[in-house]
Amino acid sequence: MELQTKSVHAGSIRPRDHGSIVTPVFQTSTFEYRGEDYHDVRYMRLSNTPNHTVLGDRIAALEEAEAALVTGSGMAAISGVLLSLLSAGDHLLVQDCLYGGTNEFVSRELARLGVTRTVIDVQNPESWTANLQDTTRAIYVETLTNPLIQLADLESVAAFAKKNGLISIIDNTFASPVNCRPMTLGFDIVVESCTKYMSGHSDLIAGSVAGSAAHVRRVKKMLDHLGGHLDAHACFLLERGLKTLALRVRHQSRSAGEIARFLAGQPAVATVNYPGLRNHAQHERAARLLDGFGGMLSFELKGGVDQAEAFLSKLELPANAPSLGGAESLIVRPAAAVHGRLSSEERGRIGITDGLIRFSVGLEATADLLGDLRSALAAVQE
Ligand SMILES: *Cc1c(COP(=O)(O)O)cnc(C)c1O
């Protein structure tokens, strides 16, 4: 089945429960004991209600993984994976510019539990071996980085992990399984913040973990203890959102491409970061590894922070807000928001200038977004 068909049907209850076309919401904390093994009794915290198992099977199909599990948030997926794999004394290799929550979890909480980490340059595979220790257990990267939308050398990461007996983990949130399926590139575990493209409507918090059945079982055991399950209503909304995943993300990818090309042609725009542009440093790799270049881009105006702020205030359609992947376009200046906790120098070192603007392209007509961007650009240049 193609991805679009899987996103509608994979894992559905058959025969249909009372003929219901849509998976009903099983709003029940516990289920009747029917003589099964006591550990197989259904209970909502154990993520084994029909709402959870349908989603697990559907996401496994989308990620091309043996198994998958939905979680209470993207961070529940990420922390659950890392806590289930790592013990005191273990060492982890991580990509340089990580999602803020992940970076803090790894650098503070895992450090407190005795897990150390080394930050690696994901664009430079030759440098990785020197960072290996006897205790290195895993390597953790993101498909497309925030907010510069760079693409790591994913094939080399997976191959390096295999060669050195490490578990490779990837956060695929910015790409979603529509733009990238890291299991097919050799990754062991794929996590998503389903809050973003997977659910697609900026109306819930959820996450997922996909991988081998053994890996997913281990993560589930950890989350059963931490209590990181997804509520039944959020399961229902996530399943509904997934049905349009391919349609949404393909539209958003096309629209983002047009917007990136438009911005690149504007004299007031200094730089545009979008892997679909020919001058993007990893364009060729992106064309080979991605299926569409995604709905996220970032850019910088020549007028710096003040012009960026003026520009944001002139836009009618995109809301100035963090997060991404929903129907409404969202735009944000990372230095003032997500990366505000770093100093200006720290941001500079990872390439985030104070004037940089990040754009999550929504489901509006591309022409309307282009019109809005054109008017706002004109207004700040008067
Ligand atoms: C949002 C996000 C997360 C965290 O997900 P939550 O659902 O907010 O917990 C993790 N990684 C990336 C890349 C994200 O964008």
Using most ligand atoms within 8 A of CB, pick from 99, 141, 323, 358 the residue to mutate for ligand 1.
99
Using most ligand atoms within 8 A of CB, pick from 173, 324, 339 the residue to mutate for ligand 1.
173
Instruction: Return the domain boundaries, the chain.
Output: 3-242, 246-381
Using most ligand atoms within 8 A of CB, pick from 193, 194, 197, 298 the residue to mutate for ligand 1.
193
What's the 14 CA to ligand 1 centre distance in angstroms? 32
Closest CA to ligand 1's atom 2: 193
338 pLDDT higher than 80: no
Give the span between the Cα atoms of 140 and 36, in whole angstroms: 38
Give the span between the Cα atoms of 382 and 373, in whole angstroms: 15
Place of tokens 């997922």: 208
User: CA distances (Å), 163 to each of 89, 140, 201, in order?
Assistant: 22, 15, 40
- Report the mean per-residue pLDDT for the chain: 96
Average pLDDT over residues 293-318: 96
0.75 cut: is pTM over it? yes
Average pLDDT over residues 173-183: 98
Catalytic residues: 45, 99, 171, 196
User: CA distances (Å), 223 to each of 28, 212, 228, 355, in order?
Assistant: 19, 17, 5, 39
pLDDT at 348: 78
What's the fold here for domain 3-242?
Answer: Aspartate Aminotransferase; domain 2 (3.40.640)
pLDDT at 352: 86
H or E, element range at 351: none
- Ligand 1, pocket residues at CB < 6 Å: 73-75, 99, 101, 142, 146, 171, 173-174, 193, 195-196, 205, 207
Residue 275: DSSP 8-state: T
What's the 120 CA to ligand 1 centre distance in angstroms? 21
Atom of ligand 1 nearest to the CA of 78: 10
What tokens appear for 368 in the block?
């309307």
39 pLDDT higher than 80: no
Closest CA to ligand 1's atom 5: 74
pLDDT band at 270 (very low <50, low <70, confident <90, very high): very high
pLDDT at 217: 97
Whether the CB-CB separation of 142 and 99 falls below 8 Å is answered with yes
What's the fold here for domain 246-381?
Answer: Aspartate Aminotransferase, domain 1 (3.90.1150)
What's the 193 CA to ligand 1 centre distance in angstroms? 5
Closest CA to ligand 1's atom 15: 173
What's the 69 CA to ligand 1 centre distance in angstroms? 16
Closest CA to ligand 1's atom 4: 74
pLDDT at 381: 87
Atom of ligand 1 nearest to the CA of 174: 13
Share of the chain above pLDDT 70, in %: 99
pLDDT tens per residue, range 45-88: 999 999 999 999 999 999 999 999 999 999 999 999 999 999 99
Whether the CB-CB separation of 43 and 153 falls below 8 Å is answered with no
Helices then strands (H, E): number in the chain?
14, 12
Q: Is 138 helix (H, G, I), strand (E, B) or coil?
A: strand
Atom of ligand 1 nearest to the CA of 323: 1
Which DSSP string corresponds to 153-192?
-HHHHHHHHHHTTPEEEEE-TTTHHHH--GGGGT-SEEEE
Give the span between the Cα atoms of 362 and 294, in whole angstroms: 11
Residues pairing with 191 in the sheet: 171, 209
What's the 329 CA to ligand 1 centre distance in angstroms? 17
User: CA distances (Å), 229 to each of 51, 56, 69, 94, 271, in order?
Assistant: 12, 12, 9, 26, 41
Whether the CB-CB separation of 139 and 286 falls below 8 Å is answered with no
